[in-house]
Chain A
């Protein structure tokens, strides 16, 4: 009896909060058939926004992968003063509002910011341009790769690495032949998480991009800007873009679900 009540509450909560809204958005997207959806996919602003989002996400994931693997190796294999502080700092962006991250970037790299004037005198524009969008995205996804790789590295230990070293392997060889194969599934998992997070970032990008259609408008900004417009075309436009982002999120979840058992086997 109690088991049934608990089951109904749990399933009802998850369905009402997540599944039903997701289903409704799918239905509303295709409410007028397939043609309006296809039409809104042809919108040049949509195409430009999708391209910008893809470029930004790939760049941010590349940066965070290199940084994340390097940071994880340093934190697990080495002991140095300030190690715990560094470890805590990596998680900081998760506890901060994306709006605050955006404002913080403006204060440092904006026109009147700490470095903004110096950069501008050299013709480098960061805020209201792609570099700031990439930076904002890198910050919000910062801990994802590091946090996935660290536990795997800790469990693997350094035995194999030391064996390889005693056999004369240099550090580059040891990284490619020992470390990378060890962390490969955890890294893949972290990369997919970062990709999902990067593609979906909105708040921090909203502050630093300026959201000019076709220039600095990412896909999430496009959803927001079209939502603010009135009329059936704009409505179909934001629904289609939201549905496309939702579909990519579902693909990410499925990939994550497939990767998780492999990561645990390690």
Chain B
């Protein structure tokens, strides 16, 4: 599919590789596919097969118990809310980092990467130390849904920022200047000129943060405190598998897999539409 977005100037033309597989590379491909099958394909297939092994009715019963429904609502709803917040604040932060100059900007740049590098369980400990029972502000979010959302916002912070930033850096300023000289205000320029250009990047970042929030476990487990009203699907699946309810755990896993694929495909097609319209 042709993209009509002007390519960033420094990108060189893509090399056209038309190499046919040789004996050695064919063997390499075989080994790679075998390895990928052993560690990704077969295990995922095992999840889907196991979830349906007692028939579709049993699958349906597993994902519609009141507890399953409650965790799915919290997980999908929470992931959606976090994704929307990330789209807004991530774009705003990327904008400030690219277009604004202030002392300490480089420190903020480094801090943005912390959630990527920090082990998720440490993210949980870190959040609890400030927003837990010993909070210096007296804000205790342990065992609340707000706490779960906070953990999800923490781990997904870099996605939209890091995907919008390079597009803003590569953007030509002359169109904005032209719009301003024709009397467009700051907001109009943003809405009509900047937003259409960065929308594909926002959606790409949003897709990543949705997928991540949907499956997040480590950062949530401590702050959710194993209470029924804060139980996300990952915690629920772990509980089921530890009480030997394999069918139930795999049913929830399969459903989440379907939700993730549907949302990723949806956001990918939105991204293509946005890129074409621009």
Contacts and interface: CB of A to CB of B under 8 A. Distances in A.
B117 interface: yes
Chain B interface size band reads 35 or more
B125 interface: yes
Interface in B242-278: 246, 249-250, 253, 256-257, 260-261, 264
Contact of B17 (A77, A107, A108, A206): A77
23 contacts: A9-B89, A10-B92, A10-B96, A10-B97, A11-B108, A28-B134, A94-B212, A96-B257, A97-B215, A97-B233, A98-B215, A99-B253, A100-B234, A100-B257, A108-B42, A199-B119, A200-B118, A202-B120, A227-B125, A245-B118, A249-B118, A250-B114, A253-B110
B241 interface: yes
B72 to A, nearest CB: 13
B126 interface: yes
Interface stretch (A41-49, A68-76, A183-191): A68-76
B126 to A, nearest CB: 4
A200 B131 CA distance: 22
A95 to B, nearest CB: 4
A201 to B, nearest CB: 7
Interface of B: 11-12, 14-15, 17-21, 24-25, 28-29, 31-33, 35-36, 39-44, 46-47, 50, 89, 92-93, 95-97, 100, 102, 104, 108-122, 125-127, 129-131, 134, 136, 150, 153-154, 157, 186, 208, 211-212, 214-218, 221-222, 233-235, 237-238, 241, 246, 249-250, 253, 256-257, 260-261, 264
A20 B217 contact: no
A80 B29 contact: yes
Given A25-B126, A196-B116, 18 more contacts: A6-B92, A6-B95, A7-B100, A10-B93, A10-B97, A18-B114, A21-B131, A25-B129, A77-B25, A79-B17, A95-B211, A99-B253, A104-B253, A105-B43, A155-B15, A201-B119, A224-B121, A245-B122
A234 to B, nearest CB: 13
B117 A96 contact: no
A61 interface: no
B217 A203 contact: yes
B238 A96 contact: no
A173 to B, nearest CB: 13
Nearest to A9: B92
Contacts of A257: 109-110, 113
A154 interface: yes
Nearest to A95: B211
B92 A100 contact: no
